[in-house]
Structure 1
């Protein structure tokens, strides 16, 4: 390809002097230059036929490398998010386990989850004695007594019934009965809910307590109003792990209360 460029330039240079009669040797040199230029052009064309597939392969390899680099970036980002989630869970668990009082455990959970996930509100719903209604018992954001908001929801509510059957986190509509009651009728973002199994000691047999499932609570987490903010996978994972830790801490608190 370089020879083709040089010969083309030489041919054009010789053509500059063809504006007047010239000797035979000059015409011969010009003809030879054009001849070699044609040969080199033909050879260049043949070379390109073999080079084009190689160039295409290089392009394909470049695309594959970019794809692998992007996949690697995603994996690294996922590892960092998992490590961050694990760190948050450890910190939350440490705070939750500092107390054996049920109310302290629940309020600590609300406060620490709000700090970690930047929540607008976080509430806990407990069933009444007849287990016919869910009562709002713990809330992160204090409300005014004059606020018109629902503090009880029937257990027959579709979202409540669905959460009772679901082990993981369930995303509910902000305008649902449970979602609006948990947000205090304010404009909110996405709302997530998860059940917390509460265990208590049934009786003691030979010094070993027999634990049965007594009731459940519902933890509702409300994000701020922001179209760009959604529940991510690692955030939902944090909620699930924390809910399990809270259930264990509440069961320990119940055992301590019954033993006293």
Structure 2
């Protein structure tokens, strides 16, 4: 059997133009048509066919009953197994309750329509879920009209359909249709509906723009904080929300990420922000175990008590069945009801964000693996060279010194040969831990190769570098290695611009100093000789920094000395 959509399009092809809309947009259009009856106390005939849903929200169930009681007569086509069949609704034409008409087994569940008719107003909306000719197209095909003759055709078709299917309510249905045949249509009511339709399509366009901007931010950046801030800003603006907040659960050992949007003029003082974050914490806990949306609508009948009500909607961020966070919007309109297409926007954005977070974390892990030595956790040689180049550029621009320490464990091959490579790995890990403990946050420790490490000391002259190097030497000397005992290290120091003018010459100078330390008996700190002119260009004028290598570093101040 043809659907109502197909029958009308065949009969009135010149008057009807199908368009494609998302399912949630069509649901909102249905609500707008129903609002004509509810808001204008229109005692009209209402006939609806809703898509099959085994579970419906309390709001959906209440809406069906509200329409049924407001209309002169209301008939709802429902599928077997639909949640509406469990409602204690009337199945007769007595009283003003919605009457349920069970669909036949051969009818398509994808059909959806609403027909409104009385002597002074008529309207029709019909849609089908996709079609065989254009299965890959997005959205459902939908038509709508306010023309009485087309609505009349729809009523004639539905009468014939109900009679042919042998519904027990067929006489009551036919009687209601006969008494409600449209004769004209109210211009005022038609304008009311078309205005809402135009506003809905405009809002839908705005939301599509917001989704596109978020998608663009995700494509163009792997900076997670920037992407998340763009997300809350675009969602907040698209939904005209007072606040929008996004919480991303942190990885093990890390703090969660939180981004907030405050509508301009809505205020963002400390108390307001604290309240928003408290709500975000509460709903993060609530949704973590449910994986379902949470919606709190405002009150339609606003009163003094409703001023404290803040309509709120929150959706979880789920990636591969794992809870990753929550996206939440809050409104200061105490009468606001969150529409299905608004919840769709939140769910769509939540899905995009979960993918973006996963990709950003994967990229961060790959970047960490590419720039970090897996055994010690220090930077590897490649990242050391890039960091040294950056620090030298800053030192040149700021006219500040920079020192480099090359450190090599003494007789490390003997440790590996005697105690095994696992013991050698323990030595390297303990050494790396010691470097992290002794250095400043601006310093860089890197595994330069094998048992050799490099330490970059920004803003440190030769005297300060000597103090740090001696402190590192003594720490290594006193370090107890399980199963091995004690080890020692030799260290070479070079300072820019005193000993070198570039990255390569600075590394070469430190390497020569390390070579001198090895030749001096190991377990000591050395600097390049003052007459090592091969490391300097002819026209270079080094800063007047006096090199003062000494074996008695305890007499110096314990802080770095900046030339």
Tell me the TM-score normalised to structure 1 length: 0.50
Which structure has more RCO (C-alpha within 8 Å, separation ≥ 6)?
1
TM-score by length of structure 2 reads 0.26
